[in-house]
Structure 1
Amino acid sequence: MNKIGAVFSGQGSQYVGMGKELCENFSVAKETFQEANEKLKFDLMKLCFEGDENELKRPENCQPAVLTLSTAFYRVFSNEFGIKPRIFAGHSLGEYSALTCEGSVSFSDALAMVKKRGELIGKAATTTDGTMAAIIDINSDIIEDYCNERKNDSGILSVSNYNTEKQTVISGNVGLVDEAAKYFENIGATVKRLNVTGGFHSLLLSDAAVKFKSFLEDYEFLDPKQEVISNTNGLPYKNGKDIKEKLVKQIVQPVKWVDTMNYFLRTRIDTVIEFGPKKTLRNFFRSLDQKLSTFSYDDPENFNEVRKQLKDASIIAEQYRDFIQRCISIIACTKNNAINEDMYKKNVIDTCEEIRSIEKSIITYDSNTLELCRRVLQLTQTALDTKMIPQIEREERFKELIVKSGNYELESMIDRFCRVL
């Protein structure tokens, strides 16, 4: 459990009672719900814990509700272990949770965004004749071709979600979706009509996207420090401006979740944890690669298993050894501009040997581990000084260490170190 990817649940995963036990056991979760109550000016906590199911299902309510629970789960995880996932991604609405927990947008601003997003989508749903259906066990290319052949000036039909290799969701006008459902059932597919109020992730929501774009003009996103994957193309966001543009596009474009999961695999993520209600995304990843360790924080058994594993000091130590290996790699991969061979041997070759000795000494995590890592940073700086690496390049190398630290304690330590360079 060294390379963790965090994924965040989308709309439709909500249920009455969600978060109640979490808030009873973890004060940071209760504080997260209270923060949401104050921002939204209504009792979201009561709605989630004991409210009416139909009221919770309304887009303007379920979107901030899912965001809040997802953030609460992540804060519990972060506070308890201090581990920072390598990659963040969210399914549709879950993308806002991913951006919040990564740090690209504040929880308060994200609440305002998803509240407005829900209102606009909810209004669009009442003025457009839309619905959705999941097509199972039919290749997505065949579904795409069908949609392209059937859509016309009198209606909209398109793929809205590429969830797994075997599950593709279509969205559009009710009549066209019903026709498609019957067609695919007749050729052997399993079809599930979704209990939704509109044709989400399709051009039926074009008006909502235009209005949401105007709404987002009052908000700014920070450039992500960690990789956050966009639903629109299954690739990391480039910067804050890119985030804002793609969140608008996401309303009318399909969720490319298969591409997102494949990106996780390409970057060799070995553990995926879903933060949010239910365990849909965990199951999507399991269908893709059964070798992955996959967990849902809303599953009590999964929750306890993650906590058990991460409390193992030897597993935590892996993160610190990985950091030390990155330091060695930085020293080895930077160009040598040094002239004095004796200094080079002493401050580069011998320094690397000392760093490797420190790495071997870290068997389990204890109170001295962070201090050893601080010593490694000092040795790395000495080696880079000796190799006469330009200051700008040095700063970039240390920023790379921060991004790939995978640990909030390490990130803070590296950041403090860089401030006094």
Structure 2
Amino acid sequence: MVDYLKSRNAFLFQGVGSDYQSLLNLLDEEQLKLLRKYCSIVESELDLDLWNYICHSQETKYDHFFNDWIAIYTCDNLVYDKYISLGVKPEIFLGYSMGLITAMVCGKSISFETGLHMLQSIYEYPKNTSGQEESMATIIGLNYQQVENIITNNNLSKSVMIASENSKYCIVIAGDISGINKILYKSEEEGAIKTVKINVPYAFHTPYAEKGIDKFINFVEKIKIEDSTIPIISVFNQKILQRAPDLKNELVKNTPSPMNWKNSIEKVIEFDITSFVEVSLDDSLTKISRVIDTDCKFFSYRKILRLKNVQLNG
């Protein structure tokens, strides 16, 4: 692999919201064989036929939101395995939202099976506690203060909140759907370049996600968590985490706490790590992160495959 990918790399693990059904062509034959094995584990643990869902759009007993969560989580584990086999090694992990769970699996802190049940617990605990339809969305082209002003000026501070500052001009909001729709409309009026709904039914990274969280806390208390083999940076306070008790606390904070992805990337750069590798089939984290510091190098899965092919054919 290219020399600079053998240097110090930060691995970026995405959260939920992507659709992987159109991206399976990026996996080679060996990965597809391994995917079948992973899908067998998923079916055994969750009674979810993931293989036929992602390959043939077959319905399961779960809704498409949860199916996609498990597809992302499973395929991202495959991508991580591929990077390691190519000699692309991590120095530190950053998990965007529920990407923390994938990072913990890849760092040998929890098992793949535990990660499945953790995602199931996160998906199920808010179901019977939310009194209204919730959602999340991304606003591109306005900064944190501009979005905050729109929320305040429209008297929506109690129903819509900022969930993450992805970069200076990329802000995630969360809350009830009617409020989200109004803020997106007002943001476009105020000059937002683009607004995008996120494929998630809950207002994560806000106090909304605290409703019913005791069920998830009880789950976390019972599972086996080990120290991570790779340090993980907190997207909430930018502290370096590796010990099991700290990771357990991070899991509990993960759903109701607002994130600051921008500060987390900047903190990694302070450690003189300027190479970022996205552990996913798409490039969503690459897109939101590369504008934070244009001097850094960002690598998506597609880009790494291209570099590999160039090297083989060179």
Q: Which amino acid in structure 1 is aligned with residue 187 of structure 2?
A: F
Q: Does 1:67 align with 2:73?
A: yes
Q: Does 1:37 align with 2:43?
A: yes
Choose the corresponding residue for 1:47, options 36, 48, 53. Answer: 53
Take 2:61 and 2:21, find their aligned partners in 1: how far apart are those partners? 10
Q: Does 1:5 align with 2:29?
A: no
Q: TM-score, normalised by structure 1?
A: 0.65
Counting matched residue pairs gives 305
CA contact (8 A) 2:163 2:174 kept: yes
In structure 2, the partner of 1:401 is none
CA contact (8 A) 2:233 2:239 kept: yes
In structure 1, the partner of 2:305 is 303
Taking structure 1 as reference, are residues 257 and 306 closer, same or farther at Cα in structure 2, changes over 3 Å only? farther
**1:119-147 CA-partner distances (Å, limit 9, x unpaired):** 3345556x423233322222213333554
Unaligned runs of 5+ in 1: 312-421
> SS of 2:205's equivalent?
coil
Choose the corresponding residue for 2:64, options 58, 83, 87. Answer: 58
Take 2:140 and 2:91, find their aligned partners in 1: how far apart are those partners? 31
In structure 2, the partner of 1:237 is 241
Q: Which amino acid in structure 2 is aligned with residue 112 of structure 1?
A: H
In structure 2, the partner of 1:136 is 140
CA contact (8 A) 1:234 1:263 kept: yes
Taking structure 1 as reference, are residues 54 and 144 closer, same or farther at Cα in structure 2, changes over 3 Å only? farther
Take 2:276 and 2:101, find their aligned partners in 1: how far apart are those partners? 18
Q: Which amino acid in structure 1 is aligned with residue 16 of structure 2?
A: Q
The more displaced of 137-146 and 286-295 is: 137-146
Take 1:102 and 1:139, find their aligned partners in 2: how far apart are those partners? 34
CA contact (8 A) 2:126 2:211 kept: no
Take 1:113 and 1:119, find their aligned partners in 2: how far apart are those partners? 10
> SS of 1:160's equivalent?
strand
Choose the corresponding residue for 1:15, options 20, 23, 26. Answer: 20
Q: Does 1:163 align with 2:161?
A: no
CA contact (8 A) 2:150 2:186 kept: no
> SS of 2:82's equivalent?
helix
> SS of 1:63's equivalent?
helix
**1:146-189 CA-partner distances (Å, limit 9, x unpaired):** 5467356xx42210121121110111123333333333333222
Take 1:24 and 1:271, find their aligned partners in 2: how far apart are those partners? 28
> SS of 1:221's equivalent?
coil
Choose the corresponding residue for 1:106, options 111, 135, 142. Answer: 111
Where does 1:4-403 land on structure 2 (aligned, <5 Å)?
Answer: 4-19=9-24, 21-22=26-27, 24-26=29-31, 27-52=33-58, 58-81=64-87, 83-121=88-126, 127-147=131-151, 150-151=155-156, 155-196=158-199, 197-237=201-241, 239-297=243-301, 299=302, 301-306=303-308
Taking structure 1 as reference, are residues 69 and 90 closer, same or farther at Cα in structure 2, changes over 3 Å only? same
Question: How far did residue 73 of structure 1 move?
Answer: 0.9
Q: Which has the higher helix share?
A: 1
Taking structure 1 as reference, are residues 148 and 239 closer, same or farther at Cα in structure 2, changes over 3 Å only? farther
> SS of 2:269's equivalent?
helix
Taking structure 1 as reference, are residues 193 and 284 closer, same or farther at Cα in structure 2, changes over 3 Å only? closer
Unaligned runs of 5+ in 2: none
Instruction: Give the root-mean-square deviation of aligned CA atoms.
Output: 2.8
**1:293-325 CA-partner distances (Å, limit 9, x unpaired):** 22212x2x432315766x8xxxxxxxxxxxxxx
Q: Which amino acid in structure 1 is aligned with residue 304 of structure 2?
A: N
CA contact (8 A) 1:23 1:29 kept: no
CA contact (8 A) 1:295 1:302 kept: yes
The more displaced of 230-239 and 7-16 is: 230-239
Question: How far did residue 6 of structure 1 move?
Answer: 0.8
Identity %: 23
The more displaced of 23-32 and 202-211 is: 23-32
Q: TM-score, normalised by structure 2?
A: 0.85
Question: How far did residue 11 of structure 1 move?
Answer: 0.7
Take 1:208 and 1:58, find their aligned partners in 2: how far apart are those partners? 22
**1:351-401 CA-partner distances (Å, limit 9, x unpaired):** xxxxxxxxxxxxxxxxxxxxxxxxxxxxxxxxxxxxxxxxxxxxxxxxxxx
CA contact (8 A) 2:140 2:169 kept: yes
Question: How far did residue 208 of structure 1 move?
Answer: 3.8
The structure with the largest alpha-carbon Rg is: 1
**1:17-73 CA-partner distances (Å, limit 9, x unpaired):** 444652524344443333333333332122122215898863332222211100011
The more displaced of 160-169 and 189-198 is: 189-198
CA contact (8 A) 1:17 1:50 kept: no
Take 2:144 and 2:59, find their aligned partners in 1: how far apart are those partners? 33
In structure 2, the partner of 1:371 is none
> SS of 2:93's equivalent?
strand
Taking structure 1 as reference, are residues 144 and 5 closer, same or farther at Cα in structure 2, changes over 3 Å only? same
> SS of 1:255's equivalent?
coil
